[in-house]
Amino acid sequence: MTISKKIRVAILISGRGSNMASLIAAATAADYPAEIVLVASNRPDAGGLAAAAAAGIPTRALDHKAYPSRAAFDGALHAELVAANIDLVCLAGFMRIFSAGFVEAWAGRMINIHPSLLPLFKGVHTHEQALAAGVRLHGCTVHYVVPELDAGPIVAQAAVPVLPGDDADALAARILVEEHRLYPAALALIASGHARLDGDRVVFSDTVRRADGALLSLRE
């Protein structure tokens, strides 16, 4: 039997942390290929910090307002991640833009979940953007983080219908259910080595294509 080492993951949050909770829950399974070893937030009052602590995960609150510059905050965060021997960073509702240096330092080792089917509807208010555009399908995307906002290689996507009478809150709630399934699945693909970066694309092994094809946007 081959016992492979679990990759060490930090989750960065700014708010309630429901995606963080879905990752923590998934990682409690003995055969999940990643372990969540740190949760950090730029907001000391982020609700997710208490939830992480209750789950026994070490937490750090680095108040970005306490740092003189973006680079100083990013440097402090980077030091925390390095000290915890982090292999992969998962952004989960982390609502702060990084300096180019931080993104460079974690290139190929940092993923994000975004509440739209990228490359549509980057930035904030994605559900309002989708309603204004009149799309019939909307959804969420897990992607690698690159310097350009919401633009990195796509790991996985899930779509939901936009229904008559939907407002932004109804759409957000329908998509959040999918986010909570998609992010743990995408992290598992990366952590197990079944999904990997190849230039500006994510490629998948055949095994994963057979097992999880329905979930994924396969683009080898």
**Residue 15 or 101 with smaller CB distance to ligand GAR:** 15
Q: Provide the minimum distance between the beta carbon of 179 and ligand GAR in the complex, in angstroms, as a whole number.
A: 5
CB closest to ligand GAR, residue no: 93
Which of residues 18 and 217 has its CB atom nearest to ligand GAR in the complex? 18
* Least Å from the CB of residue 140 to ligand GAR: 6
Q: Which residue's CB is nearer to ligand GAR, number 166 or number 196? A: 166
Q: Which pair of tokens denotes residue 137? A: 């399908």
Residue 196 host element (H or E): strand 195-198
User: Helix or strand or coil: residue 44?
Assistant: coil
Helix runs in the chain, H state only: 18-26, 47-54, 70-83, 100-105, 126-133, 168-191, 206-212
User: Per-residue b/e over 35-63, b at no fewer than 16 CB within 10 Å?
Assistant: bbbbbbbbbeebebbebbeebebebbebe
Report the alpha-carbon distance of residue 144 to residue 74 in Å, rounded.
18
Residues that bind ligand GAR (CB under 6 A): 13, 15-20, 92-93, 113-115, 176, 179
Q: 204's torsion region: left (phi>0), alpha (psi -120 to 50) or beta?
A: beta
Give me the least distance between CB of 113 and ligand GAR, in Å please: 5
Minimum CB separation of residue 59 from ligand GAR in Å reads 14
Residue whose pair of structure tokens reads 């350009």 in the numeric block = 148
The verdict on whether 127 is a catalytic residue reads no
Of 31 and 169, CB closest to ligand GAR: 169
Q: Among candidates 141, 76, 68, which has minimal Cα distance to 102?
A: 76
Which one of the listed residues 64, 78, 114, 180 is annotated catalytic?
114
Residues serving a catalytic function are 114
